[in-house]
Structure 1
């Protein structure tokens, strides 16, 4: 086992697409750094990317559509799309609220965002420059926003996310008018993360309780 110490206040981390020894970090300093691990596996070099956020970087996502790109999302409500080959921001997704998490979708040109909203917590954004339908918004009414410590998961056309009341909701992203499934699995417990397996959803509560929910 090798260990690399990063002397930065990072809150976001992602492995870079197609590069086994490369990753990106972002955090409270509003900056995004690209790291390359050396062959000895105990040291790394990094470079700051010319991505300008005005608040902390909360999520990073490495994608490949027409080229290798890195998306950085911040509490400044912006998600910048950095192209690695041209080394510049080629597009910016401007959300109306703070962006907590980014998810890959079935389509390489679309990204799912979790945002700070009390009715429309989720957005699917088409980040092509001239999209046919730039954004789809969906969610459910709740008294409080999810916050950065509730995180959902995407598989095929399904997106699942927990809530503060112990309920897991699943949407079919081809029809987002209402959840296709509601499961109260941990009553009264805030569910902080949901993850798909091949046949189930695994939910984790704020008190580290775990539960398995069958999912076809």
Structure 2
């Protein structure tokens, strides 16, 4: 992606059982990881299906990649025990990158987060959302700050477009158990899932964060 001064960077990823690396891209390393988690799981050599990605932690480790050092992305997966796999599993993807690549960060104020979340609902394309909103009057950042800001905006688009059904499926709970856990009337939850009732965006956000999304 290259738009309005936001340029994508490429990062090579070690691929298990292959002599050739994969390549992911993003405005920053964090942005590249957020946009390519499923590819990173594949690069880690995971065989078999999984229900969802619970989350990840990226950390620079000097001893990996033949001692050259790189970024280890520990990705927690939720698997179906019925397939014979453990319910929780951590896959490790290795990226040829430095510790400095993880340091780029932009701190959003609560007001900026709220404004960006509202804007995200109007965009079907996350790249278009990131490009437009990062350069809007909401932030007024310098060109040097754009890559780090773009990395923070991409998860906001995801929050805005998560459905209640996706949140419930992520937990692995039944609708009845999910409703009980969060004290939501079952018929209300079922209405949100079916679309017969609209779940307020702030409720979806709170549920998504509470469930580790």
TM-score by length of 1: 0.28
Quick check: which one's strand share is greater? 1
Structure with bigger RCO (C-alpha 8 Å, 6+ apart): 2
Quick check: which one's helix share is greater? 2
